[in-house]
């Protein structure tokens, strides 16, 4: 079992719709969770971080965290074609006596005009 799991997609949504991206993780002790966006051929860039259970909103993006279910999600409202990218979930995992930031394999999002 991978430490951080995401559906690889592609997730295809029409322009203006809500895109929902999901991520599960294995370490119950994890405290920090991040969503990165990566365009093809580019480096990952941070979209959201979340540390507490519940929702955190930033513009069109909402991160949701449920530690009991070991589940974190990212909602993108009013999706735009420019949102088409791979979205990477990252979680701090206790590994070999220290925390390490471990990434999922990413979900590719396609927003259709």
Per-residue tokens: 105: 């394999």
Rounded to whole angstroms, the Cα distance separating 37 from 66 reads 21
Let me know the angle formed at the C-alpha of 107 by 4 and 57, rounded to the nearest 5 degrees.
85
Applying CB under 8 A, the span of 18-26, 61-69, 75-83, 97-105 interacting with other proteins comes to 97-105
**Which of 10, 18, 32, 112: binder of other proteins (CB under 8 A)?**
32
CB of 40 to other proteins, least distance (A): 11
- Assess 99 for contact with other proteins (CB under 8 A): yes
Query: Nearest-CA neighbor of 21 among 77, 74, 95?
Result: 74
Q: What does DSSP assign to residue 53?
A: S
Chain residues that interact with other proteins, rule: CB under 8 A: 4, 6, 8, 30-32, 34, 42-46, 49, 51, 88, 90, 92, 95-96, 98-106
């Amino acid at each position: 079992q991978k430490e951080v799991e995401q559906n690889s997609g592609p997730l295809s949504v029409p322009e203006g719709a809500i895109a929902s991206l999901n991520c599960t993780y294995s370490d119950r002790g994890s405290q920090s969770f991040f969503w990165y966006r990566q365009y093809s051929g580019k480096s990952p860039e941070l979209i959201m971080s979340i540390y507490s259970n519940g929702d955190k909103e930033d513009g069109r993006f909402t991160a949701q965290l449920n530690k009991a279910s070991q589940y974190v999600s990212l909602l993108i409202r009013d999706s735009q074609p420019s949102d088409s990218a791979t979205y990477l979930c990252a979680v701090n995992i206790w590994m070999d006596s220290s925390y390490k930031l471990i990434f999922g394999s990413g979900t590719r999002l396609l927003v259709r005009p």
